[in-house]
Amino acid sequence: MERNLETICIQGGWQPKKGEPRILPIYQSTTFKYDTSDEMGRLFDLEDTGYFYTRLQNPTNDAVAAKIAELEGGVGAMLTSSGQAANFYAIFNICSAGDHVVSSAPIYGGTFNLFAVTMKKLGIDFTFIDPDASVEEISSAFRPNTKALFAETISNPSLVVLDIEKFADIAHSHGVPLIIDNTFATPINCRPFEWGADIVTHSTTKYMDGHAMSVGGCIVDSGNFDWNKNAEKFPGLTEPDDSYHGIIYTEKFGKLAYITKATVQLMRDLGSIQSPQNAFLLNVGLETLHLRMPRHCENAQKVAEYLASNDKVAWVNYCGLKDNKYYDLAQKYLPNGSCGVISFGLKGGREESIEFMDNLKLAAIVTHVADARTSVLHPASHTHRQLTEEQLIEAGVQPDLIRFSVGIENADDIIADIEQALNR
């Protein structure tokens, strides 16, 4: 039975049987016991399912992954130790040296570095495109060895709202999956699979955890992409895996091929598993996600309107403002609200922006975003510090851009704090 998101936030994942704990237990165990050597051997051959070592799977993690999969409407999910690991695994699961990926240019700075620098060293090439470009222009970035199209629902920090259907059509016309980082919208505000995306990733560190307690990530598989249709493009899924006596993931696991491979092959070999402790904390966060997201959006709308009406402010970027470039796309894909993150610049430019931030009292300067507490960051000096001026502009980050993450405090107090800092 399909349940509503609010119910899934609370009841999804852990399903206690008679006499079991009502609350998701933390399985603080690296290993799991079996009666015979043969039973254990069958697990290593993927002939049976079961837990044997937490680097591959852990019941606490799996319960939380199942909740996120249900929230996104996917067939399966895997938790990772961070959002960075999630995006790395999501791509690396279907790419190897010599392959190519097309990615939206305005994305999180850490992801941009991962793609443009570190994965390039592994021999995987990325072409970064303007997500607002025409279908023809974006299509021209594809090559015969292109294996995926990547973008963020709402980009961090430039707040570009993605035309997901357009992207899904482009990806599918080239026989590759669309991978969407849905961190800022969360499944409460957007479910990319409903618009044709194939794989969704998250930095659960942000709204999902929501309390700045634990770094984590997640990959969700829609189960919809037909890997066999262009089997030669995805040999890792459609040809025998020697490390498992030649099993073929698409044959053996069907709709779960992609997420199973990520778990039993990549996680086995690379090991960026989320700790069960952190998964437990993430689950507590998820239980209130449906309450927090609307409040983040409501508060952010008020703050954005205040900033837009203040004459010290040069520009405000929030897709809930009617004159925003992405207002119409947001109405389509994010009808209940986008997220709590706003960006803006002050008339004094970069220096004035930095001084304003130093004068804030309630809003804290932290390397964080999408958290219950209002926080603020200057990407050009912080998260995107390693990028050149040219890369900054390409990533949609103006040098004076202030990333303001509106929390779930009282909106009047947040606005009063901004006002006193602007007037100093």
Ligand X SMILES: *Cc1c(COP(=O)(O)O)cnc(C)c1O
Q: List Cα–Cα distances, 175 to 82, 96, 141, 185, in angstroms.
A: 29, 17, 14, 26
Does 186 bind ligand X (CB under 6 A)? Our answer is no
Q: What is the DSSP string of 134-180?
A: -HHHHHTT--TTEEEEEEESB-TTT-PBP-HHHHHHHHHHTT--EEE
419 CA to centre of own chain: 32
User: Is 115 or 306 the residue whose CB approaches ligand X more closely?
Assistant: 115
**Nearest one of 221, 258, 212 to 374, comparing CA atoms:** 212
- Among 25, 110, 294, 348, the residue binding ligand X under the rule CB under 6 A is 110
Does 89 bind ligand X (CB under 6 A)? Our answer is no
User: Is 43 or 342 the residue whose CB approaches ligand X more closely?
Assistant: 342
Residue 227 φ/ψ, nearest 5 degrees? -65, -25
Angle of CA points 279, 281, 282, to nearest 5°:
60
| Structure tokens, 149 | 């199209």
- Among 60, 103, 158, 205, the residue binding ligand X under the rule CB under 6 A is 205
Least distance in angstroms from the C-beta of 80 to ligand X: 9
Q: Which stretch binds ligand X (CB under 6 A): 77-85, 276-284, 321-329, 372-380?
A: 77-85
Does 175 bind ligand X (CB under 6 A)? Our answer is no
- Among 5, 75, 215, 289, the residue binding ligand X under the rule CB under 6 A is 215
Does 108 bind ligand X (CB under 6 A)? Our answer is yes
Does 181 bind ligand X (CB under 6 A)? Our answer is yes
- Among 60, 203, 250, 338, the residue binding ligand X under the rule CB under 6 A is 203
Q: What is the DSSP string of 19-40?
A: TS-SSPP----SB---SSHHHH
What's the one-letter identity of residue 419? E
Does 371 bind ligand X (CB under 6 A)? Our answer is no
Maximum separation of any 2 CA atoms in the chain, in Å: 74
Does 73 bind ligand X (CB under 6 A)? Our answer is no
Does 82 bind ligand X (CB under 6 A)? Our answer is yes
- Among 76, 217, 223, 337, the residue binding ligand X under the rule CB under 6 A is 217
Site string for ligand X, 242-281 (x = CB under 6 A): ----------------------------------------
Least distance in angstroms from the C-beta of 317 to ligand X: 16
Question: CB atoms < 10 A from the CB of 183, how many?
Answer: 30
- Among 57, 61, 84, 250, the residue binding ligand X under the rule CB under 6 A is 84
| Structure tokens, 244 | 């498992």
Helix ranges restricted to H, 174-228: 186-189
Site string for ligand X, 328-347 (x = CB under 6 A): --------------------
Site string for ligand X, 142-161 (x = CB under 6 A): ----------x---x-----
Does 189 bind ligand X (CB under 6 A)? Our answer is no
User: Is 64 or 247 the residue whose CB approaches ligand X more closely?
Assistant: 64
Q: Which stretch binds ligand X (CB under 6 A): 78-86, 160-168, 359-367, 407-415?
A: 78-86
Residue 341 φ/ψ, nearest 5 degrees? -95, 130
Does 183 bind ligand X (CB under 6 A)? Our answer is yes
**Nearest one of 332, 339, 343 to 292, comparing CA atoms:** 339
Does 206 bind ligand X (CB under 6 A)? Our answer is yes
**Nearest one of 416, 415, 160 to 299, comparing CA atoms:** 415
**Nearest one of 61, 13, 334, 369 to 186, comparing CA atoms:** 334
Interacting residues toward ligand X by CB under 6 A = 82-84, 87, 108, 110-111, 152, 156, 181, 183, 203, 205-206, 215, 217
